[in-house]
Amino acid sequence: MNPNVSHSRAEQAEIDASARWPVTVFLVSGLLWLIAGGALQLAANIQLHTPSFLADCAWFTHGRLAPAAQNALVYGWGFNAAFAFGLWLMARLSATTLRHGGWLFVAAKFWNVGVTLGLAGILGGYSTSFELLEMPKHVALLLLGAYALIGVWAVTTFSIRNTENIYASQWYLFGAAFWFPWIYSIAQVMLIRTPVRGVLQPVVNAWYVHNLYALWFLPMALAAIYYLLPKLLGKPISQYYLAPLAFWWFVICSAFAGGARLVGAPVPVWIPTLGTVASFSLLLPLIIFGLNFMGTVSGRFGHVGGSLSLRFVLLAMGGFLVNVILTLLLSLPRSAEIAQFTLLGTLRDWSALYATFTVAIFGAAYFFLPRLTGKEWRSSALIKAHFGATVVGLILLVIGYGAGGWQQGGLLNSASVGFADITAALSGWHMLNTVGLGVLLVGHLAFLINFVWIACPINSQGTANVSIPVPPALALAGKEGHA
């Protein structure tokens, strides 16, 4: 083996060892929330076609169950998974170890205690009326305090980096680390602490919800795609010199696109108009992402069958494309007349959180967990079950939310159709979505079992040690490479 390669491998092993336990704690917390949130989401969806399901218990009525599921998936699974992946990747790309990781355990405990109290508050009937801010207001300070501890580690790791190049993945990670506390603090102050009045409330809420997806979850997914594609294909990112333009254009336009959620709403017309213009301005970064990603994959499709991580990454790229298309569709006034306030809006947010972010994190987890633990994935059958369930679940839910939402919009715009008739007409689509959510939940359980076998010190004793293959050499040396 080349001495330089051997030295680099030893350095990466040291970095992985420093990040192992903080990353494992965040990821196992996230997976438990993913299972719990998936079960709550499944129960909430069953209530849409079987209203009597859990109807006798006030804690599990649909009005409490649905926001509890959404918050469990966003703040429980989404943030824990993003912390785990972001800390590991920032340490890797900064070529430095994760120091004093003990404080991250404290932060993880505070964050998850906060999410638990928040969900208990929602189920107990103490939620606010604002989407994705339903947790009782006393929980916000706990979450912000825990986030500050975690964010300090990400910034510190970046500031003491041992590399001269700053890669595209680091731009998105570093940016997301600052954007979330910014939008969360503003939304908490303007909606919960010192609430603004009247029409400003839905404007601020729409701005927060949009940016939570666009400036937190999507940047995390883009960081994973930018990192994994060159690693798995042994090929630099195609047209990489365009990536900085895509980054800044995507961030600036996304920050102004939230108003598009209010097309047709009783708000000043310039707000949804600005949102529509900003949404369509996202076409430029979308084209650049296409050149970067598809140009890199071009000519290397033979690698797809041999790499599970690459298959998940390609799925995440498809999910990102679906999300952008839906964002554009729902920002057009004529389309919004039909699609607004239907299942298509649910599909737009779900495609950002699950089809893009979650799928990308699964691809990253299959890549970095063997490197962190030194163990092989034990069950290939569970891996196949997880990937198969993800593909089937994605297809079912895209059809169920997409076709069901379009039919729902058409019926809502017909004055001759009663609301009870619309509910009955959508029953079949809700059942299809229930099947899709159930399939995804089975896949999550398969991943959790395999995760325990590879990450738990007791259960992993019978798992074979991993042999990390030498990554394919990059065709060009330069900033397109990784630390």
pLDDT at position 42, please?
96
Mean pLDDT for back-to-back runs of 10 residues, the chain (483 residues): 56 82 92 96 95 89 94 96 94 84 87 96 92 92 92 82 86 93 94 90 95 96 96 92 96 93 89 94 94 91 84 95 92 86 92 96 94 87 95 96 93 87 92 96 95 76 63 49 46
Between CA 140 and CA 131 the distance in angstroms is: 14
pLDDT at position 8, please?
66
Amino acid at 269: V
pLDDT at position 163, please?
81
Between CA 336 and CA 329 the distance in angstroms is: 7
Structural domain boundaries in the chain: 11-165, 183-336+348-353, 375-457
Q: Is 465 helix (H, G, I), strand (E, B) or coil?
A: strand
Q: Tell me the whole-structure pTM to 2 decimals.
A: 0.92
pLDDT at position 99, please?
77
Amino acid at 471: P
Which residues fall within 8 angstroms of residue 105, CB to CB, at 6 or more apart? 21, 22, 25
* Rounded CA Rg of the chain: 22
pLDDT at position 460, please?
59
CB 130 within 8 A of CB 85: no
Tell me the backbone φ, ψ of residue 465, rounded to 5 degrees. Answer: -70, 145
